[in-house]
Structure formats: C-alpha cells, structure tokens
Amino acid sequence: MSLINITLIIYIITSVAYIAREVWRSTAAKWISLGLFILAFCFNLTWLIVRSIKAGHPPFSNLYESLVFYACCTALVYIVFEFIYNFRIVGALASVLAMLILLYATLQDPSIRPIMPALKSNWMLAHVITYMLGYGAFGISFITSCIFLAVKPFAKNRKRNEGEKGNEILLINFDKLSYKLVAFGFPFLTLGMVTGAVWAKKAWGDYWSWDPKETWSLITWLAYLAYLHTPLILPKMNISKSKASVILAFWLLISFGIVNFTFVGLNYLPSAADSEHIYGSK
C-alpha cells in the first residue's frame, strides 16, 4: 500500500478517535486521538520528504505535490492549536479536511516532471511554505466557523450558561477561536504574498502584473483583511453582537472558498490561458 493511502486511512481513524473522545472523555482518549493526528501528520510529511528526494526538488512543483503539502500544513496548524487551546470536536473535522485535500491530490497527475527554470528559487520556497501555512490556518478557521454556525441555534442564551462552565461556553467560543486562527494565518498569507511578489520580480521582471493568480491571491488577502477590520465597525452599526458573529462566521466560509478557488479553481477562468502561474491542467 502506498504511503499516501496509509496516510489517508490514518486521517480517517483519527477522525473516528476524535468523535469517540467526545463520548468517552478521558485523558487517555485525548492523547490517543492527538497522537493519531500527529502520526498522520508524520506520514504525510514523510511522503513529502521521500518525494523531494526522489524528484530532486522541493515537493510543490505541481498541483499534486502542492495539494499533499497543503494537507500536511492543515494538519500541522491543527496540531499546534490543539496544544494551545481546548479544541475537542474540531479535530474530527480537521482530519477529515486534511483527508479530503489528500484525496483530491490523488486524483491529480502524479508524475514527476522536471522543474521549470523559473521555479528554481529560494523565494519560491519561502513563498509556498508561508502560503500553505496560512491556508492551513484558514482551513481550520473554516471548520471552527462551521461548528460555530451549527451549534449557534442550540446555544442561544450564552449569558445564562456562562456561569455554569458547561459545554455551551466552550462551543460558543468557536467564533473567538476562528478569529485566533485567522490572526495566526494572516501574517503568513501576507508574507506569502510579499515573497511571491519578490520572486516574481526576480523571475519575470515585475513584482505585480495583475495576473489572475496574483489577482486572486489579492482577493483572498482582502477577504481576510475585511474580516479582521469588520469587528471594529460592527459594534458601531446597529447590529447585535450575536448577529455580528454569525455574519463574520459566514464571511469566513466564503473566504475559505476563495482560498480554494485561488488554489485549484483558476483553470476555470477565461483568462487562465494567459497566466504564467496557474498549474497547467495538462
């Protein structure tokens, strides 16, 4: 069985373990599920290392490799956050997300192609790594927003429960968690964009040429920038606190859609034929 398939299976087992952990709350369950997640991450990472040795270049020269790398970064961000915050059910969905990304990768052309001259640059390395870490954080924030929106109707009276330290508080805190994840990812996204611009300047002579890929990464950046600034105005408008948090959660869902469109969807644009940066569809 290939390394990718093993990784896929461990991600699935991880997801089951996280659900089980909700049922049997114990320290053991907590460490088993987290351990499984870390194991899946390690397998994912091993694939990347093996691949880069085999191919002789960093493992993100085509869509297939980039997607595997994307899955790996999503897992990494999740694991880092689980060490900091009490995450609970998020892990079940985060591993599913990583698994889906990986599954999508397996549908791509896996052949190793020689790397084109423009891709040989350290700026490219910095660019891709920072971007993927940012995307990973946005992926997890997508999940926390989904959970937030799902449990919101059942946790209407947040105020009353606050004293009881019950489940509700934890669940309702998912909006803050989303914000933290975006705050974690946004600097990476910014660094990714800047290093990308510097790289483009070095390779193509222009740091910004309104190429569709560049434009869409700007759209992504603006979407999260808007998310970060909206909390400053929502209180000033006549919008209740709870409505505001729902709007922000929805905005994160859309933004993550934009992230993925920027990553894999650009081939559907009419202007894709002119782009130098879009992964070829063949």
Partner 1 sequence: MKNGKQNQSHTVTDLKDTAKQTIQTNRYERKNTNKVWDFFCSVKLAVVIILIMVVACILGTVILQEKTLDEYTAKYGYGLATFFRITQLSNVFHSYWFSFLLVLLCANLICCTIKRWKNTFLQTGFILTHLSLVLILIGGVIKFQLGVKGGVNVYEGKSVNYFLTQLINRQGKMDYIKKDLPFSIALDDFILEKNEPKFQLVSYVKSKDRQKVLDVKLGKKQRVTGSDYRVTIKDYIPDAELHQEPINTSDEPENPAIYVMLMGSDRVAAEGWLLAYDRNYYEDRKQNLRIEYIWLPSREELDKAIVSVGTAQAKLSAAISGQGSFQDYPLELNKVFKIQGTEYTIRMLQYVLNYGDRRPLSEQPPDNPAIQVEVNGPEGPETRWVFEKFPDWDKMHPSKYKNVKLTCNGIASTHMVKNTVRIFHSPDGKQIIAFIKDRRIVETIPWELGKNYTVGDINCQVAITNYFPSFDFKKEVIKKSDEIGIPAILVEVDGPRGKVEDWLFSNNRYATWYPDNNFALVYESTGESIKHFTSKLRIVEDGQTVLEKTIRVNDPLKYKGYVIYQSSYDPEAGSFSGLQIVKDPGIPVVYAGFGALCFGVIFIFYVKPFLRKKPKKETEE
Binding site for partner 1 (CB under 8 A): 109-114, 116-118, 120-121, 176, 179-180, 183-184, 186-187, 190-191, 194, 197-198, 201-208, 210, 212, 215-216, 218-219, 222-223, 225-226, 228-241, 266, 269-271, 274
Among 151, 183, 197, 225, binds ligand HEM (CB under 6 A): 225
- DSSP labels, 9-23: HHHHHHHHHHHHHHH
| DSSP letter assigned to residue 58 | -
| Closest to 63 in 3D by CA, of 99, 98, 100, 109 | 109
Amino acid at 88: R
- Of 26-34, 167-175, 225-233, 236-244, which segment contacts ligand HEM by CB under 6 A? 225-233
Q: What character string, x for contact with ligand HEM (CB under 6 A) and - otherwise, covers 167-206?
A: -----------------------x----------------
CB 96 within 8 A of CB 11: yes
| Closest to 64 in 3D by CA, of 47, 46, 88 | 47
Q: Residue 267 binds what, of partner 1, ligand HEM, none (CB under 5 to 8 Å, by partner type)?
A: none
Q: Which of residues 231-260 bind ligand HEM (CB under 6 A)?
A: 232
- Of 81-89, 105-113, 224-232, 256-264, which segment contacts ligand HEM by CB under 6 A? 224-232
Q: What spatial distance separates the first Cα and last Cα of the chain, rounded to whole Å? A: 27
Angstrom distance (rounded) from CA 171 to CA 145: 11
Residues that bind ligand HEM (CB under 6 A): 190, 225, 229, 232
